[in-house]
Amino acid sequence: MSYAYLGPAGTFTESALLQVPGAADAQRIPASSVNVALSMVREGSVEAAMVPIENSVEGGVSATLDAIAQGEALQIVAEILVPISFVLAVRPGIDSLEQIKRISTHGHAWAQCRLWAEANIPQVAFTPASSTAAGALALEEAEPPHDAAICSPLVAQERGLKVLARGVEDNQGAVTRFILVTRPGKIPAPTKVDKSTLILPLPEDRPGALMEILEQFTARGVNLSRIESRPTGQGLGQYFFSVDFEGHVADERVAAALSGLHRLSPELRFLGSYPAAEGVEPFVDAHNSDAAFSEARDWVKSLRERL
Residue 190: predicted pLDDT:
95
Residue 49: predicted pLDDT:
97
Which pLDDT band holds residue 199 (cuts at 50, 70, 90)?
very high
- Give the right CATH number for 1-84+174-186 from 1.10.3720.10, 2.40.40.20, 3.40.190.10, 3.40.50.720: 3.40.190.10
**If you count them, how many residues does the chain have?**
307
The 10s digit of each residue's pLDDT in 212-252 is 999 999 999 999 999 998 887 777 777 889 999 999 999 99
Q: Summarize the confidence of residues 190-215 as an average pLDDT.
A: 88
What sign results for the dihedral spanned by CA atoms 282, 287, 288, 293? Answer: positive
Comparing 6-20, 36-50, 66-80, 178-192, which segment has the lowest mean pLDDT? 6-20
Residue 207: predicted pLDDT:
80
Residue 157: predicted pLDDT:
87
- The CATH architecture of the domain made up of 87-166 is 3-Layer(aba) Sandwich (3.40)
Report whether pLDDT(56) > 90. Answer: no
Residue 298: predicted pLDDT:
94
Q: Summarize the confidence of residues 268-285 as an average pLDDT.
A: 93
Report whether pLDDT(170) > 80. Answer: yes
Quick count: other Cβ atoms within 10 Å of Cβ 118?
11
Give bridge partners of residue 163 from the DSSP assignment: 89
Residue 111: predicted pLDDT:
87
Q: What share of the chain has pLDDT > 90, as a percent?
A: 70
Are 133 and 155 in contact, with CB atoms under 8 Å apart? yes
The 10s digit of each residue's pLDDT in 76-130 is 999 999 988 999 999 999 999 999 999 999 888 898 899 999 999 998 999 999 8
Report whether pLDDT(41) > 90. Answer: yes
Kindly list the domain boundaries of the chain, sorted by start residue.
1-84+174-186, 87-166, 187-306
Are 165 and 146 in contact, with CB atoms under 8 Å apart? no
pTM: 0.84
Residue 239: predicted pLDDT:
81
The DSSP call for residue 283 is P
> 262 φ, ψ to 5°?
-65, -35
Which pLDDT band holds residue 171 (cuts at 50, 70, 90)?
confident
Q: Which CATH superfamily, name and number, covers 187-306?
A: ACT domain (3.30.70.260)
Q: Summarize the confidence of residues 33-38 as an average pLDDT.
A: 93
Same fold: 1-84+174-186 with 87-166: yes
How much is the mean pLDDT over the chain?
Answer: 91
Radius of gyration (C-alpha) of the chain in whole angstroms: 22
Where helices occur in the chain by DSSP H, the ranges are 12-17, 34-43, 62-69, 107-120, 132-137, 153-159, 209-218, 252-264, 290-304
